[in-house]
Structure 1
Amino acid sequence: MSILTTSLAEVASSDATLRAFLHGLPGVDRVGADQRAAVLGTRSIKTTAKAQAIDLAISMVDLTTLEGADTPGKVRAMCAKAVHPDPSDPSAPRVAAVCVYPDLVAEAAAAVAGTGVKVASVATAFPSGRTSLEVKVADTALAVAAGADEIDMVIDRGAFLSGRYLKVYEEIAAVKAAAGEAHLKVILETGELATYDNVRRASWLAMLAGADFIKTSTGKVSPAATLPVTLIMLEAVRDFRARTGRMVGVKPAGGIRTAKDAIKYLVLVNETAGEDWLDPAWFRLGASSLLNDLLMQRQKLATGRYAGPDYFTLD
């Protein structure tokens, strides 16, 4: 089956047609992807553009707390920081979203109401994804009912790696239906997918099933986000739009800690998918520890000096 002649409406008609489509995608040149990402990662940005890039990166952050010790107070404090990242400078942009477990969605939604900051919630047995579809759908529906604007789901990596692509597809489609108007971010957990070819296949599988975003990682598995993996995912969303006319967002998550790292990702987006994706609606950064470094670099550009390490609240 040629992927050029296959109707995408027919691709998921059976496990066989879905497998044929995914394995008919062009293979990834691992060496070429690594080299391309490395070259783009060396691009330098001048002062004015750097200031703009830092503000853009701040506006793309999903500020996240996903720990067993999370409390309503911790979530409210995080939400306050999301809305006003630098209380001493009202010109600092707000972040894109806060991300919490489903039982804390109502708390987060109340804290950011009317600010433009979205509420995202991990669902579907995050981070393992190992539970029944019924539980995943119920988890999603409860989060949306509590006020989630976005749902971050994890795919069943065991099913994917054993070639049960239709099971993965049907689970994503069911969660998408349960999410209703909320945007669905599908986490591939690329650190467990073993090959770049699998990253490309998982990206297409998620998009075919209705993902609004594809996301690298839960942040709980190493390696998490990397430039080469994000490059492959950006190529996938670019090619998917060329074929279907539908844009899908990308979110690298985990391991992005500095403003310098964030700018590398913005360059990667611009050079791979194009400037249409340089918008919080289509590109996010899942890295809470990143925000403080972005704020420190922002202050350095504005004042000529760095703030002390305890100037900004710790996440």
Structure 2
Amino acid sequence: MPSTTPAPDIAASNTSLRAYLHGLPGVDEVGARERAAQLATRSVKTTAKAQAIDLAIRMVDLTTLEGADTPGKVRSLAVKAAHPDPADRSVPPVAAVCVYPDLVAVAVEALADTGVAVASVATAFPSGRSPLAAKLSDTRRAVADGASEIDMVIDRGAFLAGDYRAVFDQIVAVKDACAGAHLKVILETGELVTYDNVRRASWLAMHAGADFIKTSTGKVSPAATPPVTLVMLEAVRDFHALTGRRVGVKPAGGIRTTKDAIRYLVLVNEVAGAAWLDPALFRLGASSLLNDLLMQRAKLSTGVYAGPDYYTLD
């Protein structure tokens, strides 16, 4: 486990931050893959599966991040987020709808009084390659329009070049621009090359003030994977033991089936602990997952698959 050096001292210079991050224990990559694979074989009984499906629905960040997004599409997504199955009002709402900053106001209006949060990607998503002033403007606009959650991307080029202080300082600045909105920091783990880098980026983001650490933008392959998520769950668990502060985790990209979602819930419970089995600390970034969760839920309650055409395509 890392030392108890306070975060301001850790980030006093790039040299001190580098020494801290490279002093973290190394990740056993083979062990991480094997443990994730072993946990994926856990069976879930019918009653527990029904509870897991509802929990997974409540953890979904229903997402549309395409250049062709329109206000109409966002309004339709908002309706589905609040009432995923109009024929069954016992289905819980999702956690949030995630959109580009220019569509935040549309989502906020559509989701008023539903309890569903509005999240927005910011900071030159998905590349993260823009001046800090532009990133902060992006963030402030989304918050001013009503976003209660901001998903920022780190500058992977700076991170991979070893300029950890630049990445740290940008997260601190964006956190300040959030003005109370929760900050999810996207690591884009598919570009970080090694599990050691995933661990370092996780700890850097948490010390800089992240409320969540998120695997990916969904625009780079590979996106979320169980072994990478395991490394991040270990990081939030150990960070909590060290500081007393709980940070959430959000795998995003490539999570499409109920089986996938339940495997992630098992991973959360076994690695971080039951406290993280809550939408306040674990989210699933997805666009197509919700329909499969609804299909499997209907099958458990009626014994019949509704079929994919029964639900809207997002």
The TM-score normalised by the length of structure 1 is: 0.99
Tell me the distance in 2 between the aligned counterparts of 1:209 and 1:251: 17
Tell me the distance in 2 between the aligned counterparts of 1:8 and 1:288: 36
Question: Which residue of the partner structure matches residue 94 of structure 2?
Answer: 95
Tell me the distance in 1 between the aligned counterparts of 2:265 and 2:4: 34
Tell me the distance in 2 between the aligned counterparts of 1:216 and 1:234: 11
Matching residue's letter, 1:9: P
2:156–2:192 Cα contact (<8 Å) kept: yes
Kindly indicate whether residue 32 of structure 2 is the aligned counterpart of residue 33 of structure 1: yes
Tell me the distance in 2 between the aligned counterparts of 1:8 and 1:42: 38
Following TM superposition, the consecutive aligned residue runs of length 4 or more in structure 1 with deviations greater than 3 angstroms are: none
2:184–2:212 Cα contact (<8 Å) kept: yes
Question: Which residue of the partner structure matches residue 247 of structure 1?
Answer: 246
Tell me the distance in 2 between the aligned counterparts of 1:4 and 1:148: 35
Tell me the distance in 2 between the aligned counterparts of 1:3 and 1:116: 38
2:4–2:242 Cα contact (<8 Å) kept: no
Q: Secondary structure at the match of 1:98?
A: strand
Question: Which residue of the partner structure matches residue 202 of structure 1?
Answer: 201
Deviation track 1:94-122 (CA, whole Å, cap 9, x = no partner) reads 00000000000000000001111000000
Kindly indicate whether residue 47 of structure 2 is the aligned counterpart of residue 48 of structure 1: yes
The TM-score normalised by the length of structure 2 is: 0.99
Tell me the distance in 1 between the aligned counterparts of 2:169 and 2:285: 26
In structure 2, the CA distance between the partners of 1:243 and 1:305, relative to structure 1 (3 Å rule), is: same
Tell me the distance in 1 between the aligned counterparts of 2:112 and 2:4: 47
Kindly indicate whether residue 233 of structure 2 is the aligned counterpart of residue 234 of structure 1: yes
Contiguous gaps of at least 5 residues in structure 1: none
Deviation track 1:39-65 (CA, whole Å, cap 9, x = no partner) reads 001100000000000000000000000
Tell me the distance in 2 between the aligned counterparts of 1:120 and 1:25: 32
Tell me the distance in 1 between the aligned counterparts of 2:264 and 2:4: 33
Tell me the distance in 2 between the aligned counterparts of 1:190 and 1:301: 35
For this pair of structures, how many residues does the alignment match? 314
Q: How does 1:158-307 map onto structure 2 within 5 Å?
A: 158-307=157-306
Residue 307 of structure 1 and its aligned partner are, at CA, apart by 0.6
Question: Which residue of the partner structure matches residue 309 of structure 1?
Answer: 308
Q: How does 1:131-170 map onto structure 2 within 5 Å?
A: 131-170=130-169
Question: Which residue of the partner structure matches residue 3 of structure 2?
Answer: 4
Cα RMSD after superposing both structures: 0.8
Residue 9 of structure 1 and its aligned partner are, at CA, apart by 3.1
Deviation track 1:255-279 (CA, whole Å, cap 9, x = no partner) reads 0000000000000000000000000
